[in-house]
Structure 1
Amino acid sequence: MPDPRTLRLGGWALAALALAELVSVPFSISGGVYERPGVVGEPPGWLVAVVVPAFVVSGAVLVHVRPRNVIGWLLLVSGLLQVTNVAADAYGTRALTDPDGSLPWGLAGAWVASYTWFPSLMLPALVLPALYPTGRAQGRYWRWHVRIAVTGIVAAVVFVAVGGAVDDTVSFARMPWQLPGWLGYVVGIPVVVLLGAAAISVLVGTLVRVVRAVSPERQQLLWLLAVVVAMIATVFVSSRWLFALSYSLVPVAVTVGVLRYRLLGIEVVLRRTLLYVPLTLLVALVVGGLTTMLARLTPDGPLPLLLSSAVVAVLVIPVASRLRVLVDRFVRGRPADPLGVVDRVGSGLEAAHEDPVASMLEAVASATGSSYAEVDGPDGHRLAVVGQQADGTAVLPLRHAGADLGTLTIGPRPGGLRVTEPDLRMASVLAPHLAVVVRSQALTRELEHERTRVAAATSSERDRLRRDLHDGLGPSLSGIALGLEAASGALESDPAAVAPLLLRTREEAAAAVREVRRVLDGLRPGALDLHDLSGAVRDTARSLGMGASGGPTFELRAEPLPDLSPAVEEAAFRIVAESLTNVARHAGARHCAVTLARADGHLRIAVVDDGQGPNGSDRHGHGLESMRRRASDLGGSVTVGPASPRGTSVDAVLPLAGAAVSAP
Structure 2
Amino acid sequence: MGTLRDEDLVRRIGGWSLAALTLALFGTVPLSLSGGVMSRPGIVSPSPDLWTGLIVAGFALSGAALIQLRPRNWIGWILVVSGLLQVTNVAVDAYATRALTDPDQSLPLGLAAAWLASWTWIPSLLLPVIVLPPLYPTGRPASAYWSWHVRMALIGIGLVVLVAATGQGGVDDTVPGTRLPWEAPAWWVWAVGLSAAILLISTAAVTVVGTLVRAIRAKTPERQQLLWLLSVVAAMLATVFTEYRLLFAIAYGLVPVAVTIGVLRYRLLGIEVALRRTLLYVPLTLLVALVVGGLTTAFARLVPEGPVPLLIASAVVAVLVIPASGRLRTLVDRLVLGERADPLALVDRVGAGLEIDHDDPVAAMLEAVASAAGTSYTVVRDVNGRLVAEVGSPEGAGLDLPLRHRGVQLGTLTVGPRRGASQVTEQDGRLVAALAPHLAVVIRSARLAEELARERIRVTTATLAERDRLRRDLHDGLGPSLAGIALGLQAAGTAHRTDPDAVPSLLERTRAEAELAVSEIRRVLDGLRPSSLDLHGLEGAVRDTAASLGMGEAGGPTFDLQAGALPALPPQVEEAAFRIVAESLTNVARHSAASHCTVQLNQANGDLRVRVCDDGRGLSSLAGSGHGLDSMRKRATEIGGTVCVEIANPQGTLVTAVLPLETP
Give the TM-score category using the shorter length: 0.7 to 0.9
Aligned residues of 1:213 and 1:333 also touching (Cα < 8 A): no
Cα distance in structure 2, aligned partners of 1:30 and 1:434: 69
Superposed counterparts of 1:129-168, under 5 Å: 129-130=133-134, 135=138, 142-144=142-144, 146-152=146-152
Aligned residues of 1:582 and 1:619 also touching (Cα < 8 A): no
| Cα displacement string for residues 159-212 of structure 1 (whole angstroms, at most 9, x for unaligned residues) | 99999x8999798899xxxxxx99x999x97x9988766533331133345566
Cα distance in structure 2, aligned partners of 1:193 and 1:595: 88
SS in 2 for 1:520: helix
The change in CA–CA distance for 1:591 and 1:198 in structure 2 (over 3 A counts) is farther
Cα distance in structure 2, aligned partners of 1:367 and 1:54: 37
Q: Which residue in the other structure is 2:469 paired with?
A: 464
Q: Which residue in the other structure is 2:55 paired with?
A: 51
More displaced 10-residue stretch of structure 1: 491-500 or 236-245: 236-245
Cα offset, 1:269, TM superposition:
5.0
* 1:638 equivalenced with 2:637 (yes/no): no
Q: State the one-letter code of the partner of 2:317.
A: V
Cα distance in structure 1, aligned partners of 2:402 and 2:258: 38
Q: Which residue in the other structure is 1:543 paired with?
A: 548
Cα distance in structure 1, aligned partners of 2:167 and 2:20: 22
Aligned residues of 2:157 and 2:200 also touching (Cα < 8 A): no
Q: Which residue in the other structure is 2:204 paired with?
A: 199
- Alignment partner for residue 262 of structure 1, among 259, 270, 291? 270
The change in CA–CA distance for 1:511 and 1:396 in structure 2 (over 3 A counts) is same
SS in 2 for 1:549: coil
* 1:434 equivalenced with 2:439 (yes/no): yes
Q: Which residue in the other structure is 1:322 paired with?
A: 323
SS in 2 for 1:275: helix
SS in 2 for 1:606: strand
Cα distance in structure 2, aligned partners of 1:449 and 1:384: 20
Cα offset, 1:546, TM superposition:
1.5
The change in CA–CA distance for 1:328 and 1:452 in structure 2 (over 3 A counts) is same
Cα offset, 1:393, TM superposition:
4.2
Cα distance in structure 1, aligned partners of 2:298 and 2:198: 45
Task: Give the TM-score normalised by the residue count of structure 2.
Answer: 0.79
More displaced 10-residue stretch of structure 1: 446-455 or 53-62: 53-62
- Alignment partner for residue 272 of structure 1, among 268, 271, 281? 281
* 1:79 equivalenced with 2:88 (yes/no): no
Task: Give the TM-score normalised by the residue count of structure 1.
Answer: 0.79
Q: Which residue in the other structure is 1:508 paired with?
A: 513
Cα distance in structure 2, aligned partners of 1:649 and 1:329: 73
Cα distance in structure 2, aligned partners of 1:116 and 1:462: 94
Cα offset, 1:610, TM superposition:
0.4
**Where in structure 1 are there 5+ consecutive unaligned residues?**
175-180, 296-303, 660-664
Superposed counterparts of 1:393-408, under 5 Å: 393-408=398-413
Please provide the CA RMSD for this pair: 4.8
Q: State the one-letter code of the partner of 2:651.
A: R
The change in CA–CA distance for 1:277 and 1:32 in structure 2 (over 3 A counts) is closer
The change in CA–CA distance for 1:230 and 1:159 in structure 2 (over 3 A counts) is closer
Cα distance in structure 2, aligned partners of 1:68 and 1:376: 36
Aligned residues of 1:78 and 1:119 also touching (Cα < 8 A): no
Cα offset, 1:158, TM superposition:
9.2
Cα distance in structure 1, aligned partners of 2:26 and 2:552: 95
Q: Which residue in the other structure is 1:621 paired with?
A: 626
The change in CA–CA distance for 1:654 and 1:185 in structure 2 (over 3 A counts) is farther
More displaced 10-residue stretch of structure 1: 77-86 or 501-510: 77-86
Cα offset, 1:218, TM superposition:
6.7
Cα offset, 1:348, TM superposition:
3.9
Q: State the one-letter code of the partner of 2:147.
A: R
Aligned residues of 2:89 and 2:118 also touching (Cα < 8 A): no
* 1:601 equivalenced with 2:610 (yes/no): no
The change in CA–CA distance for 1:393 and 1:7 in structure 2 (over 3 A counts) is farther
Superposed counterparts of 1:515-664, under 5 Å: 515-618=520-623, 621-658=626-663
Cα distance in structure 2, aligned partners of 1:650 and 1:111: 106
More displaced 10-residue stretch of structure 1: 403-412 or 214-223: 214-223
| Cα displacement string for residues 393-439 of structure 1 (whole angstroms, at most 9, x for unaligned residues) | 43321101221112233445566554433332232223223212211
Cα distance in structure 1, aligned partners of 2:384 and 2:191: 70
Cα distance in structure 1, aligned partners of 2:27 and 2:346: 62
SS in 2 for 1:545: coil
Cα offset, 1:602, TM superposition:
2.0
Q: State the one-letter code of the partner of 1:260.
A: L
The change in CA–CA distance for 1:472 and 1:365 in structure 2 (over 3 A counts) is same
Cα distance in structure 2, aligned partners of 1:381 and 1:167: 74
SS in 1 for 2:403: strand
Cα offset, 1:445, TM superposition:
0.8
More displaced 10-residue stretch of structure 1: 253-262 or 440-449: 253-262
* 1:124 equivalenced with 2:128 (yes/no): yes
The change in CA–CA distance for 1:198 and 1:441 in structure 2 (over 3 A counts) is farther
Aligned residues of 1:372 and 1:387 also touching (Cα < 8 A): yes
Aligned residues of 2:481 and 2:513 also touching (Cα < 8 A): yes
Aligned residues of 1:126 and 1:149 also touching (Cα < 8 A): no
Cα distance in structure 1, aligned partners of 2:157 and 2:139: 24
The change in CA–CA distance for 1:406 and 1:264 in structure 2 (over 3 A counts) is closer
| Cα displacement string for residues 248-305 of structure 1 (whole angstroms, at most 9, x for unaligned residues) | 122234455624332895244553333234313432333244335544xxxxxxxx23
Superposed counterparts of 1:233-272, under 5 Å: 233-238=238-243, 240=245, 242-255=247-260, 258-262=266-270, 266=274, 267-268=276-277, 270-272=279-281
The change in CA–CA distance for 1:207 and 1:401 in structure 2 (over 3 A counts) is same
**Where in structure 2 are there 5+ consecutive unaligned residues?**
172-177
Provide the aligned length of Structure 1 versus Structure 2: 627
The change in CA–CA distance for 1:87 and 1:345 in structure 2 (over 3 A counts) is closer
* 1:375 equivalenced with 2:380 (yes/no): yes
Cα offset, 1:242, TM superposition:
4.7
Aligned residues of 1:541 and 1:580 also touching (Cα < 8 A): yes
The change in CA–CA distance for 1:154 and 1:538 in structure 2 (over 3 A counts) is farther
Cα distance in structure 2, aligned partners of 1:562 and 1:647: 30
Q: State the one-letter code of the partner of 1:552.
A: P
Q: Which residue in the other structure is 2:310 paired with?
A: 309
Q: State the one-letter code of the partner of 1:539.
A: D
Q: Which residue in the other structure is 2:499 paired with?
A: 494
Aligned residues of 2:374 and 2:418 also touching (Cα < 8 A): yes
Cα distance in structure 2, aligned partners of 1:418 and 1:314: 44
Aligned residues of 2:119 and 2:161 also touching (Cα < 8 A): yes
SS in 1 for 2:663: coil
SS in 2 for 1:333: helix
| Cα displacement string for residues 21-75 of structure 1 (whole angstroms, at most 9, x for unaligned residues) | 321454489568999xxxx9999945542222112334456678xx45987x624
Q: Which residue in the other structure is 2:458 paired with?
A: 453
The change in CA–CA distance for 1:205 and 1:158 in structure 2 (over 3 A counts) is closer
Q: State the one-letter code of the partner of 2:292.
A: V
Aligned residues of 1:85 and 1:113 also touching (Cα < 8 A): no
The change in CA–CA distance for 1:620 and 1:18 in structure 2 (over 3 A counts) is same
The change in CA–CA distance for 1:441 and 1:380 in structure 2 (over 3 A counts) is same
Cα distance in structure 1, aligned partners of 2:381 and 2:114: 63
Aligned residues of 1:376 and 1:408 also touching (Cα < 8 A): yes
